Structure formats: structure tokens, C-alpha cells
Structure 1
Amino acid sequence: MQTADIRQRWLDFFAQRGHTIVPSASLVSDDPTLMFTVAGMVPFVPYLTGLVPAPYPRATSVQKCIRTNDIDEVGKTPRHGTFFQMNGNFSFGDYFKEQAIAYAWELLTTSEADGGYGFDERDLWVTIYEDDDDAFRYWKQVAGLPDERIQRLGKDTNYWSTGQPGPAGPCSEIFFDRGPAYGADGGPATDDDRYVEIWNLVFMQYQRGEGTGKGDFDILGELPKKNIDTGMGLERVAFLKQGVENMYEIDQVRPVLDRAAALSGRRYGADHDDDVRMRIVADHVRSSLMLIADGVNVSNEGRGYILRRLLRRTVRAMRLLGVDTATLPELLPASRDAMKAAYPEVATDFDRISRIAYAEEDTFLRTLASGTNILDLAVADTKKKGAAELPGDTAFLLHDTFGFPIDLTLEMAEEAGLQVNRTEFDRLMADQRSRAKADAKNKKTAIADLSVYSAFRASGETVFTGYDVLETETSVLGILVDGASVTRASTGDIAEIILAETSLYAESGGQEADAGTIVGTGFELEVLDVQRPVKGLTSHRVSVRAGEVGVGDAARTVVDADWRRGATQAHSGTHIVHAALRQILGPEAHQSGSYNKAGYLRLDFSWNQGLSAETRSEIEDLSNQAIRDDLEVTTRVLPLDEAKALGAMALFGEKYGDEVRVVDIGGPWSRELCAGTHVRHSSEIGLINLVSESSIGSTSRRVESLVGRDAFRDLATERAIVSQLTSSLKTPREQLPDRIAELMANLKAAEKKIADFESRQLAQRIPELVSGARRVGAVTLVSAAVGSLRSSDELRSLVTGVRERLGSDAAVVALAADVSGKPAVIVGTNAAGRETGARAGVLARAAAAVLGGGGGGKDDLAQGGGSDVAAIPAALESISTSLS
């Protein structure tokens, strides 16, 4: 049974039983505490917890998921995958435990011919929470399972909660017995790979209290509405139904594995380590494909870092398979072809997806080359010292700074006959992870932060009137101070105000929130920010400037007209610049992010090279031509599919409902999905002035522009500067570039003459310094303070010059100077001096300690500094003492 068939049977089964089919949400989660959508229930959390009223009583979905906490287990077990799909059915206060069990058993055991999965009842086991007698009874009644195939387990495995006070409940998990060839008998409680969990039923029926860990909390009582949340692992069912050994061998993954085998010339199944590497490649290529398709781009932090890690682990695995060249151009299309039936976007958007992936592979291959050079030097240095072990901090530096994988370091060190200090490396890695965990613990969970809004959201959505008017009569539904619901807020308070209607735009879609006020009888509130903490609810953060506001009061929202005008100019300007980019660069230049506020816009887009001055000018000209053409700006609300059919552009990472707002500028000239506020005609934007273009990643660029009055002011400032230059230089404006270039050339020539003169002056001081040499211990020492110098380079030049004059006898040179108000000391030794034990680095550190600073360097040349210029004589004396 193909994976697509398993998926469709699921959706058909539950649709026929009154469930609304909900399309998969993006892998980029709406939950601010989650990097990715990690489970099928994540998009439904607001409904399951009661934070937002559910729009349907029962639903079903096949949700794309990413989990990275088990990334090191990928390829080693039959079921660990970074990307996976979770089939789910959900009930929001509708059916409960008995019906959920009945649905699960029916779908699993109904024959394939009749639309089910056709599992043999004798191969299925279930676990339940140890005290859940209801579940035990229902499994007996519905499935007729014998007692020994219903195992009771504790809270750590069979009880669900968010980890915070709120909904909780027991679970029942369904397992498939793969047979004695895969492990010992005894059922799922044996925790063996023989028993594969395929479906988890969560019975959300209780309210839990405070506590820590999976089991340390109290149950406060039953929920007023009991919910069902289930999850079936699509890949797990697929590998069982397809008769293969693991999820990496199913139809959606195996083609990549086979291509990796072909490229490496190694046979899958012949060697355990190679098999693991091929499975890693198959998983990570598919995961990367799906992440990029959902708008994730490569970066050094957050989601982008995870994508980078997946791609680099792929390259590393292929290298360990013996392939040193780029392989993604072969592997990624294989994954695309395997996944496009379920997710057509991976094919239609493959040009962009592949460009990002291939660029990262090229970058990492260069990184590997650089890291290899650094590792080679470290290996040579280790051998020179007669050591057999590469320092752990070197391995960590390669890993952390250069992205050089530790197992590659281990492999290459072993080839050179060395070990790696894994204890030190692991300690440094553990320290890094501890810091990351400490940062993560400082973040509160979404449910804990947002539960206070539940009662307000239950009364309905906030109506936004700001597309048509700047002022709206409304009423105060709620007030929050310091996160707690209160009835009143007074002068001086900072509070959140929940209103029934508002004309104030909440920050979203890259547009900054409106500025304005909320006024009513006896109070005036300054609006500091406007946000949507939960879907459908708008919260106004305000400062109470005068009076007292209370729940139930009548109020009026007033948008700052100048601010809104500037914001609409900037947002419409963003659409204009995006359209101009795509016309000039091509459709691959797709917007990947934006930010706009009154007078300013920033637009990020997919592109892998800098824009020339001519291209920037062309984009700016085309944008301003569209403004001059006075294009009409229209908006309409359409079904999502219809909007996409019209060619409306969607922003990667943005979430869209079944109906969307389409903004047209000049009809199809610019057509995008957008909920922001806009001008009515393009001429109202006034002016676009592109002020910068820069890189924000290997495949992403950013343009920034001033808009409207701010753009004019910036150009006026430039005009004033040009006027001042023409006056000062007595040069016509059109000749300024040549005149300035001439002056720069003259300045450079003058600086070279000065440098040559100062170099000769320094050289003339060398004989005098050499004449001051004296015998100290086993070496000849030249030690002197040379006054004030412009740079440490001048001091270093003196030290090396004196050292050369002293010849081959054992010598040490220590010179100090006042460099820009700070003391500096440089120490040099020759080969004979070092044979006596004199080490420049050690001597420089000793002198720097006297100067109140630090220093160090190599044995032949080292530098130190500090803060106390007056201590220079004592610092030089410390060197003499060390040599005595």
C-alpha cells in the first residue's frame, strides 16, 4: 500500500464520519514557543485548550511535522525521522473515548478492499493509563482484545498534558507486533523495537494543576468539554504495510537512498555503517526539501540553522560514503519526484528550493576545504609536539566556528595516526548545550502566556474597521495589567485593552502597528502597541494618560492619520518594489520577508548575488514609474484557491485561512495576498528611494527604501551635501566624482611619502638601540622605551630590525612605546635565544601584567599591552629580571 493511499484512506474514512478535512499547516509553527510544527495536534491547540472556539465539532488532517530532538538517532532505528506526517482525528467536545477507540479499531482492521488498512487483529496490542478502567472496558467491548494484550502503563508514557496547568488526560497507544524475529515477547511494556507504536489516542478530560515533570502534578477536576486528539504515524504505517524494514525504505523516501547508494558505488544492506549514512541522507534530503518549500531559508540561527545542519549532515554523510563532490543536484530531484504527489508545491517551486539547497552545499564544501586546512595544521602541530591526541578545543573550534563535523575530524585524525580528546570536546559541547537550555528555560510556554485571553476570545472575534475608517465607536471587553485580568486601569497605568471593534491595525504581515489613541468619557489612552495574541483577538497596549477606564465602558479608537498615511505608503511601496524586482530579476526573486512602517520599507527576497548599481537604479526607476502611472489599488476577499488561481503571490511563512484578501496594484501588475492597509492609487506613495542593498544569507538579499516624505527629505539632504562639496571644491556637480578621485589619489600618494619618511626615521634609530645591548643571563638583551609611536606595527618593525642586527648569538629584544595613549610592549627572540629557554610569549605576558593588561604570542615574537603608560620602565625591568 503506497503512502499516498494510506493518507487518502485516512482522510476518506473520517470525512465519511462527519469530520472536516483540515489541510496541513506549515512546518513553521504559529506557536511562538515552537520552532516547528512538532505534532499533528499543534495547529489545533487553541481549540483543544478552549483558548479559541473550535470552528467545527470534529476534524481530521494529515499534518507535516519536523522534530529535531532525536536527530542523532536518525538512520539508527526503524522509526526516527526528522520530517514525518501525522494523521490525526480530533473531537472538540463532541465524541469521546468509546467512539475514538471504535474509529481506530475499525479503520485499522477493516480490509483493504473495504477501505481500511487490513491489519490482522492478532498483531495489534494496546497500552492504557494504569488507572483508566474506562479505556480497558471499551477496548474489551469494541475490539474483544484479551486482557494480556491491553497493558497498563504509568504517567510517564500514557498521560498527556501541555507541561503547564491546563487540559490533560490519559492516553491509549496502539502497537503492531513485528514478530519474534525483531525481539523478545512481552508486549509494548518490554520497550522493544519488535512492538511499533502506530497510533496514540489522547483522551483530554481533566484539568491539571501546577507541577514539574511528566507525572508530578495534581488533577484539579474534569473539563467542562472533553476533547479527543489522536495521532497516527503515516511513515510507520507505510513501512509496515509495504513490508520493508524501516521508514527509510518506504516509497516516499527510498528513491533518495537508492540514489545515494548509486552515487557512492556502495550497496545498501552490505555494511551497517554505510546503511546508517544512506538513511541519514534519505531523511535529511526530504526534510530539507519540505522545510525550504515552507519558506525556511538557511541561516546561523533558529529554523535556518536547523535547515543548515540537515543539509550539512547530508554532505558529511555522502563524504563518509566516499563522495567528495556536490550530490544534491542528484538527490534533491529524487526526493521531489517522490513527494510531489502529496505536496505539489515541491515541484512547482523547485527552482527556488534547489537554488537554496545547492548554494548551501557549495558553501559547505568550501567550508570543508578550509576546515581541512586548519585540521591539517593542527595535526602537524600535534605531531611536532610529540603528542598522540588532538586537543578537544581544536575539534570544538572546527565544529563550532567552521561547521566541521566531529566525526569527520575523528576520521581524518585517525588517518593521520592521532586520537581526539573527546572528553574535552564533549565537555565544551555540553557547556554550549547547557547555555542553550538555560536560554530556552527563560521562555514561557504559549499556553501559559495566552490562557488569560481565553475568556475574551470566547465572546467573539475583534472586528477590524480600519480599512474604511480611522475612528470607531466600541466598548471595552477586558483590561489586563501585568498579565492579570482587572476591572479598571487608572492614570499612569500600562495596560492591555480588549475591545469589541477597533480601527487600529495590529502588527502583522510585516506592517508595524498603528499609532493612535483610545478615548471615552473620563479617560484618554495612548496606544503603545497593537497585537493579535491569539487568532481573532486584538489587544491594545496602552498608557493611561488621563482618567480611569473600566470594563464595559464605551470607547472610541482614533488612528493617527499621519502615521497611517505613512504606513499605507510604505506597505504599498513594498508591493511595488517586489513587483519591480520580479520584473527585472525574474520570478525567482521571491519575497521572503518584509517590514514596513511610516516612511520606511525593508524587503527580503531570494537571490544569491549582490545587485549592481545599474540594477538597483533600474529597480528604483521601475518602482517610481509605477507610482507616476497612478495605478489603481483595489482589494477583494476571495477563496484561497481562487486567489492563487489568479496568480496572487503568497508570502512564505505566512498563514492564510480559507478566504484571503487580495491586493491588486494596476490589476495583475502587482497581485498579492495581504491583510495590510494600502493607498488607493500608487501616486499616493509619492517616491521610492532605495538606500541600501545587502546580503542576509547565501541565498537571500535585502533592499531598504525610504518612502514618501522621508524619501524626499533624504534626497534633499544629499542635494545639500553635493552643493556644499561643489562650493568647497569649486567644481561643477557633474565633475565631482573625478575631482574627488583626484584628491583621494593625491592623499594616498602623500600618505605613502609620509610612511616612507617615518620608516626611514625608525630605521635610523636601530643602531642606537643596538648600541645599548647588554648581557643578561645567557642572552644579549636590548631593552628600551622608545617614546610615542603611531601604531604597534612601527614598534614591531623596530624590534625585528634590532633583532636582525644582533646576529646569530642568543638575543632578546624588548621595546615599549606609548601607542595612542596606551602602553605597548613587543618582545622578539632569535633561534639561539630560544635555545636558552627564552620565550617571547612568556616575556610579553610578564611585562603586560605590570602594565595592567594582558599579552602573548609565539615564541619568536609576542606583544603585550595595558593601561598604565607610567609603568613601562617597570615592565621592561620585569623582562630583564625574568632572564637573569
Structure 2
Amino acid sequence: MRTAEIKRRFLAHFEANGHTVVPSAPLPAIEDPNLLFINAGMVQFVPYFLGQVTPPYLRATSVQKCIRTPDIDEVGKTTRHGTFFQMNGNFSFGDYFKEKAIELAWELVTKPQSDGGFGLDESVLYASIYHEDDEAAELWKRVAKLPDDRIVRLGKKDNYWSMGIPGPCGPCSEILIDRGPEFGADRDWEAGDRYMEFWNLVFMQNLRGEGIGKEDYEILGELPKKNIDTGMGMERVAYLLQGVNNMYEIDEVRPLIDKASELTGRRYGVSSGRTAASAHPDDVRFRVVADHVRTALMLIGDGVVPSNEGRGYVLRRIMRRAIRAMRLLGYEDRAMPELLPVARDCMSPSYPELANDFERISSYAYGEEDAFRSTLRQGTVILDTAVRQVKESGSDTLPGNRAFELHDTYGFPIDLTLEMAGEQGLKVDESGFRQLMAEQRRRAKADAQSRKTGHADKSAYRGFLDGSGPTDWVAYETLRTDSSVVGILHEGNSVPVATKDQVVEVVLDKTPFYAESGGQHADAGSITTAGGHGEVIDVQRPVKGLVVHQVRVTEGEIAVGDSANAAVDPEWRLGARQAHSGTHVVHAALREVLGPSALQSGSFNRPGYLRLDFSWRTKMSDETRSEVEEVANRAVRRDLPVAVKYMPLAKAREIGALALFGETYDESVRVVEIGGEWSRELCGGTHVEHAAQIGPVVITSEASVGSGQRRVEAVTGIEAYQYLARERDLVSQLADELGTQRSELPEKISQLIQRAKEAERELAAMRAQAVRDQAANQAASATLINGVRVATVPAPEGTAGGDVRKLALEIRGHLPADAPGVAAVVATAGGKASLVVAVNKNGVANGLSAQGLVKAALSGRGGGNAEVAQGGGVPAEQASALLTSIAAQIGDA
């Protein structure tokens, strides 16, 4: 049974039993400050379990895409775990509980495949329960007819669930399958792969207190509403139903291993019969390739792009490990163009959007591989330098900090450092490297732990929501409302009144203000009561359903219970509408000119200004940029109609409405069209009624903001006119200053630039001649110290850094070649002194080192080699002392 069919049957089973099918949330965990990626099926339902939001349904089911990254370095060493996986789940929010959850799971697992089930043999199925949960034991006996010896009681560590912080928790019950004696000992629940858990039923019935780990916390009592959260591992069920031994052999993964084997000429399966600890290196590498290429496909598909931080860094690291594994398997060519299409063909039966969006996905993947191949070349040079320095110092070990620098700064994998250092006869201080890596992980973990108060911090907002209900939000209909003040927060605390000059958060029962979202800045305006007046400076939605206004009280007092007039600044809203509609127009223009893969990946707009990030690898030419600008303005001139429609998410996707990667959408969505299908996007922002109301659109800049990401900035409406007026005035000023016509400005400026370049060349030639003339005189006056000709020279005031080096080299060149010679030049600039030392070949042969002389003079600072070195950063007053030090060192030699 193919994995896509397992997904279909799972969702169909629960939909037939009254569950709402909820699409998988995107992999980036946008809504949860504690997570980079969704790592469990229940994550998107957390607000429902915590009581932050009232669920729109009592029963739900989903197949959630998940990523777990804590042990990326361990992937491939066993066949049990991978980075990307899918979690099938069913959820009850205060509806059914233990008995129904067990019934539904057992029915699907054991029902014959001909009837739409999975058809697993009941005789090899077991249930584990929390050792104190007698109720669950009785239910398994009654519902599934399991005897006592097939119901396993486990402790809190294994069978009691919580989120790791105070909140909902409860006992678990797992469905296990006995895979036979070849997978381990009889009745051995703790080790081996024999009794494999593939479905975990969480009975969320209690509230946990503070504590650490999986066992050290107190159970505070029962929840007012009991919930169900289950998770069935898709990959585990797939290999059970496909008759293979592990997740790397299922239909969504094994073709990648086969392709890698074909490309490399190596055979997979060398580890057959070995333990995980003794897995053959090639088998580990094949599994790394398969897991990481599939994971990269899914991450890029959900809008993550390679970068040096956050989610982008995880993606970059995953891709580089896959590319590196192919290299270790002997494949030196570009691997992603061969492997990624295989991953697409494996995953698109379950996720058709991957095939539709493959052009964009592959452009990022292939570009990242090209960049990493360049990094490998650069890192090799850096490693070679480090190896040479280690050998020069007489050591046989590359320090751990150098290996960590190569890994952390340059993305150079540690195993590559180990291999290449070994080839040159060096060891690597792995323990030092691992210690630095552990410190980095500890810092990251501590940072994540410090952010685990994200849900608790919203309790005050939830209190307003529970007490007064959701805000009546009418920003689309009006700019002014008569409202009531239902709550005020000052510095996080609820207060009854806000006084003049305080900045507070005000909650109204009804508001016309647009809260910042979807890239659109919040509205500005005012809130006025009988006793006071406040300026609205920000508007946010801290919890779903509640709009909160940040207000600076400018007159009198604003108190809870006051009647209030809430008024949006109409000019602000007009400018915001122009900018947001302008963003859609520019996006459509980019896609028309560059092609459909130029998809928006982020945006920001405020009155008169827009910024749009989009997928594209190269800089736009001036001609292309002008063409995009022209297409946008032609759409404005045609006064294309703007329409807003509400429809089911599935319908919006069917008609081609564009969605922003990483965003989560409700089942009913708002679609904004400009010119019908020319621009059709999911959007909650405010917009103009007709395109002509946008006014002129002027692109002011276009630049890179990361690998495969470009950014355009533009102005619209009156701001665009003002921008063009400033440009006009600047051109007029330049024409007047240069005494020429505007049309002749480019030629005139080009002539001036050419003259300036010629003058610079002449000046450089004069400086070079002055250096040569001065060098000959300085070399002639060199002092003989301990058999060495030494010229110590203070450079003329104002000598540039490059000229200081040239002067030292010129002086060295004028020293007699048949005797040791040293030229030392000191320059001062900006209150600091710098030193350059050059030693001739005879001097180097006699044991002199420019680098050693500089480091000794500068207390260890400076760099270079035996022939020429430089350093600085000391106070200018020490300039003469530096020269004295050079002479003294040679005298003492």
C-alpha cells in the first residue's frame, strides 16, 4: 500500500466518523515562538488545547508534515529515525475521550484492506498503557479483546505526556506490533525493534505543574474538559504495510537511495546483519542522502530558503550534509539536479503542489549546491593554511577552535576537516571541537527555554477575550466607530485608568483599526472619550479574536467602561490601501516579466511605501527593472477592477490564488483580485476599489537579501509624486551646477568621471615615484646591526596603508642582496600606529622572520609571513618605540 493511499484511508476513516479534515500546517512554526518547525501533529491545535482559542470544531483529523532537528548528526546511523516525517492524528476537543479513541484506532488498524482499513493481524498487536491507568486497561480488554499479557504497563517516562511546561498533560496508550524474534528478544519492551510502537493515544485529562524532564513534575488536578490527541507515524505504518524493514525502504524514500547508488556505483545494504553502532559508513551516507534530500524538498516547498540563521540555516546544513555524503560516496558532480526530481516524484502523490512548484524549489536547491561547492573550494584553502600553520608550529593536531571556525563560519563539515587533515598527516582535536559545539547547543537550548513563556504571557489578553468576547472588527466597512473601553494594560498589568503621557494598551469592544498583519502596517488614528484623548500608535492581535490598540494618552484620562469614539486617520488609511494594492500590482508585474517562479516570499507596506521580497537568483538589469515598473503602471492606467471574494481555501487554490509561503489560512479565505486572474492572492489587507486609485508606482531599489532572494522597494500615490519631484529637482540642480542641459547630463558626468580617473592615475604614479625616490635614500642610510642592514623609517604624514607596504618593499629592494636586510616602516593615522616589516631573502635564510619581528613588537598582534608582515592598532605615540623594538630585536639576535 503506497504512502499516499495510507494518508487517504486515514483521513477518510476519521472524516466518516465526524472529524473535520484539517490541512497540514506549513513546516515553519510561525505561530509558536518556541519552535523553528512543526515537530508534532498536535502543534497547530495547541491554542485549542490551552484554551486560548475556541476550536471551530469538536473533532479534527490531519496528516501533519513534521521536522525534528536536535540530532541531525545522528541521522542515518540507525534506520529508525529521520528528519522529515508525517504524523497522522485525530483530535477531540472536549468531545469523545478514551473509549471512542481506542475504538476508532483499533477499527482502522484491524479492518480488512478490502473494507478500507489497514488489515493488520490482531494476533501480533499489543497495547501499552500508563501503569496506573486501570481504565485504559479495561477498555483495551473490552474494545479490542486483548488479554492481560498483551497489555503492557509502563511508567511516567514512557507513557505520560506533557508539553514540557505547565499546562495540559495526561496518560498515554500506545499500539505496538510484534515484528518477530528476528528483531529482538521476547517481551523486551525497552530495547530493540521487535515491539514497535506506531500509534500513540494521548488522553489529555490533567494539568501539570512546574518541573523538569519527563517525570519530575506534579499533577495538579483534572482539566475541566478532557481532550484526545493521537499520533500515528506514517513512515512506520508504511513499512509495515509495504513489507519492508524500515522507513528508508518505503516508496517515498528508497528510490532516492537507489538513484544515489546508481550515480555513485556503490551498493546499499552493506550493513545487513550489523548493529546500528557498527553500520557501514556507506549505508549511513545513503540514508543521509535520502532523508536530507527529501527534507530539503519539503522545507523549500513550504517557503524556507537557505540562509545563515534560523530555519534557513537548518535547511542549509541539511543540504550540505547530503551533498557531502554524495562526495564521500565518490560522486563529485552536482547531485541535486539528479536527486531532487526523484524526491519530487516520490512525494507529489501525497503533496501535488510540489510538482506544480518544482521550478521554484529546484532553483533554490541547485543554487545552494553551487554555493556549497564554492564553499568547499574556499574552505579547502582556509584548511590548507591552518594545516601549514600547525605544521610550522611543530604540532601534529589541528586545534578544536579552528575546526569549529571552519564548521560554524564557513559551513565546512567536521568530517571533511577530519578527512582532509588526515590526508596531510594531522589529527584534529575532536574533543575540543565537540565541546565548542556542545556549548553552542547549550546556549541555543537556554535561549529556547527562556522563550517558553510565550503562551503564559498572553493570559491577560485571554482574560479580556473570555470576559468580553472577540473584538467586533469592522476595519473593512468603516473608519469610525462608537465603542466601549473594555480593558487597559499598562506595562503588562491590567489597570482601571490611563493618564496623560502614559503609553498603554487599550481593548475596545468594537474597532475600525486595521491590526498589523499580512505585511501591512497597523492603522494610525485616535481614541477619544468624554474624559480624554489618545493617539493610536500601533494595533496588534496578540491572541486570535482580540484587537489591542497601543495608545499614547495626550489629554485627560481614558478609563475602563468609557464610551469612546475610535477614528482611523483617513489619509493614513488611503496611503496604506494604495501601498498594499501596489504590492499586489508589483508582484503581478514581476511574475509577468520574469516568469511564474518569481513568487513573493514576504512583504511590508505602510502608507505610500512597499517592500516586496521574491524568489529570484540574479540582479535585475536596469531594462528589466524599468519593464516591471512599466507593467505595473500600465495596470494602474487601465484602472483594473479590484474585487474581494470570500471562498473555501480549496476553491481558492483551485482557481490559482497565490498564498504566502509559511502562512496558515483558515478554511474560509479572503481573495483579492486586481484585473481578475492577472493578480489573484489570498490577502486580509485593505485595498483600493480600482487600480487607478493606487497612483503612480515608482520602484526605488532592487537588491539581494539572501541566497535566491531579491527585494524591490517602491513608492505609490503622493509619495511617488514627491519622490519623482525630488529626483527632478536633483537633476535640475546638477544641470545648473555643471552648466549643461538635462539631456546632456550623462555625457557630462561621464567626462568628469573620466577626468577624475586620469587625475587619480597621475597622482598614483607620482606617489609611486616618490616612494621609489624616498626608498633609495632610506636604504642608503640603513644601519648595520649585528651583521644585518636595518632601515627603520617613519612614513611621511598622510601616507596611505597601501603606500606604507609599498615603501617597505621598495626599501627592501634597494638593500644589498648579498647580506641580510630588514626594512621597517611605521605610519600613523587616526590616532593609531601601524607597522610593516620586510625581510630580504638573505635575511630569511639567516633565520630572520618579518612575522616574528612584527608580533614581538606588537605583543602578539599582526600577521603575514617570514618575508613581509604587518600589524597595528597601538596608540600613535608608540610609533617610534615600534621602530626601536625592531632594531633592538635584531641587535639581541
Normalised-by-shorter TM-score class: over 0.9
CA displacement at 1:485 relative to structure 2: 3.8
Aligned-partner SS, 1:583:
helix
> In 2, distance between residues paired with 1:606 and 1:36?
21
- Contact kept in structure 2, 1:491 and 1:546, CA below 8 Å: yes
Q: Deviations over 1:367-409 (max 9, x none)?
A: 2233334434544555566654334344333322322222122
Q: Deviations over 1:303-358 (max 9, x none)?
A: 22222222222211111111111122222222212222211101111121122212
> In 2, distance between residues paired with 1:674 and 1:457?
25
The match for 2:832 among 793, 817, 822 is 822
- Correspondence for 2:129: 128
Q: Tell me whether 1:516 sits opposite 2:525 in the alignment.
A: yes
CA displacement at 1:500 relative to structure 2: 2.5
- Correspondence for 2:82: 81
The match for 1:525 among 528, 534, 551 is 534
The match for 2:670 among 636, 646, 661 is 661
Aligned-partner SS, 1:638:
strand
> In 2, distance between residues paired with 1:586 and 1:866?
52
Query: Structure 2: which amino acid aligns with 1:231?
Result: G
- Correspondence for 1:810: 820
- Correspondence for 1:3: 3
Q: Tell me whether 1:229 sits opposite 2:229 in the alignment.
A: yes
- Correspondence for 1:311: 319
Q: 5 Å matches for 1:172-191?
A: 172-188=173-189, 190-191=190-191
- Contact kept in structure 1, 2:799 and 2:827, CA below 8 Å: no
> In 2, distance between residues paired with 1:411 and 1:268?
22
CA displacement at 1:510 relative to structure 2: 0.8
CA displacement at 1:707 relative to structure 2: 1.6
CA displacement at 1:89 relative to structure 2: 1.0
- Correspondence for 1:113: 114
Query: Structure 2: which amino acid aligns with 1:235?
Result: E
Q: Tell me whether 1:214 sits opposite 2:217 in the alignment.
A: no
- Correspondence for 1:140: 141
- Correspondence for 2:276: none
Q: Deviations over 1:434-490 (max 9, x none)?
A: 343344344244322234333433454323211121111222333333334444433
- Contact kept in structure 2, 1:470 and 1:558, CA below 8 Å: yes
> In 1, distance between residues paired with 2:195 and 2:591?
53
CA displacement at 1:854 relative to structure 2: 4.6
Query: Structure 1: which amino acid aligns with 2:193?
Result: D
Q: Which runs of 5+ in 2 are unaligned?
A: 272-279
Aligned-partner SS, 2:797:
strand
Aligned-partner SS, 1:355:
helix
- Contact kept in structure 1, 2:34 and 2:448, CA below 8 Å: no
CA displacement at 1:59 relative to structure 2: 1.2
CA displacement at 1:249 relative to structure 2: 0.7
Q: 1:444 to 1:554 in 2, by over 3 A?
A: farther
Q: Tell me whether 1:432 sits opposite 2:432 in the alignment.
A: no
Query: Structure 2: which amino acid aligns with 1:567?
Result: A
- Correspondence for 1:268: 268
> In 1, distance between residues paired with 2:456 and 2:686?
32
CA displacement at 1:299 relative to structure 2: 1.7
Q: Which runs of 5+ in 1 are unaligned?
A: none
Query: Structure 1: which amino acid aligns with 2:809?
Result: T
The match for 1:730 among 739, 756, 762 is 739
Q: 5 Å matches for 1:74-473?
A: 74-188=75-189, 190-270=190-270, 272-379=280-387, 382=390, 387-458=395-466, 460-473=469-482
The match for 1:838 among 840, 843, 848 is 848
- Correspondence for 2:274: none
The match for 2:653 among 619, 639, 644 is 644
> In 1, distance between residues paired with 2:651 and 2:737?
61
> In 1, distance between residues paired with 2:721 and 2:129?
69
Taking structure 2 as the reference length, the TM-score comes to 0.94
CA displacement at 1:691 relative to structure 2: 0.9
- Contact kept in structure 2, 1:790 and 1:820, CA below 8 Å: no
> In 1, distance between residues paired with 2:456 and 2:242?
42
Q: Tell me whether 1:711 sits opposite 2:724 in the alignment.
A: no
CA displacement at 1:594 relative to structure 2: 0.9
- Correspondence for 1:476: 485
Q: 1:551 to 1:165 in 2, by over 3 A?
A: farther
- Contact kept in structure 1, 2:831 and 2:875, CA below 8 Å: no
Q: Deviations over 1:605-633 (max 9, x none)?
A: 11121111011111111211222222222
- Correspondence for 2:543: 534
Q: 1:161 to 1:525 in 2, by over 3 A?
A: farther
> In 2, distance between residues paired with 1:289 and 1:282?
11
> In 2, distance between residues paired with 1:476 and 1:98?
46
- Contact kept in structure 2, 1:164 and 1:448, CA below 8 Å: no
- Correspondence for 2:620: 611
- Contact kept in structure 2, 1:351 and 1:588, CA below 8 Å: yes
Q: Deviations over 1:692-729 (max 9, x none)?
A: 11112332211111222222222212212211111111
CA displacement at 1:15 relative to structure 2: 2.0
Stretch of structure 1 that moved more, 472-481 or 723-732: 472-481
- Correspondence for 1:602: 611
> In 1, distance between residues paired with 2:265 and 2:18?
51
CA displacement at 1:135 relative to structure 2: 2.5
- Contact kept in structure 2, 1:125 and 1:150, CA below 8 Å: yes
Aligned-partner SS, 1:566:
helix
Stretch of structure 1 that moved more, 810-819 or 318-327: 810-819
- Correspondence for 2:47: 46
Q: 1:214 to 1:495 in 2, by over 3 A?
A: farther
CA displacement at 1:836 relative to structure 2: 4.7
CA displacement at 1:866 relative to structure 2: 3.4
> In 1, distance between residues paired with 2:165 and 2:535?
34
Query: Structure 2: which amino acid aligns with 1:232?
Result: M
Query: Structure 2: which amino acid aligns with 1:408?
Result: L
CA displacement at 1:229 relative to structure 2: 0.7
> In 2, distance between residues paired with 1:173 and 1:445?
30
Query: Structure 2: which amino acid aligns with 1:588?
Result: S
Aligned-partner SS, 1:163:
coil
Q: 1:76 to 1:457 in 2, by over 3 A?
A: farther
The match for 2:760 among 751, 754, 757 is 751
- Correspondence for 1:679: 688
CA displacement at 1:197 relative to structure 2: 1.9
Identical-pair percentage: 56
Q: Deviations over 1:554-612 (max 9, x none)?
A: 32321111211111111011111111111111212111111111121111111121111
> In 2, distance between residues paired with 1:861 and 1:308?
39
Stretch of structure 1 that moved more, 590-599 or 855-864: 855-864
- Correspondence for 1:25: 25
- Correspondence for 1:870: 877
- Contact kept in structure 2, 1:789 and 1:820, CA below 8 Å: no
Aligned-partner SS, 2:177:
strand
> In 2, distance between residues paired with 1:882 and 1:337?
70
> In 2, distance between residues paired with 1:422 and 1:159?
38
Aligned-partner SS, 1:56:
coil
> In 2, distance between residues paired with 1:139 and 1:549?
60
> In 1, distance between residues paired with 2:26 and 2:526?
36
CA displacement at 1:779 relative to structure 2: 2.9
CA displacement at 1:112 relative to structure 2: 2.8
> In 2, distance between residues paired with 1:120 and 1:675?
50
Q: 1:164 to 1:481 in 2, by over 3 A?
A: farther
RMSD: 2.3
> In 1, distance between residues paired with 2:168 and 2:464?
18
- Contact kept in structure 2, 1:51 and 1:455, CA below 8 Å: no
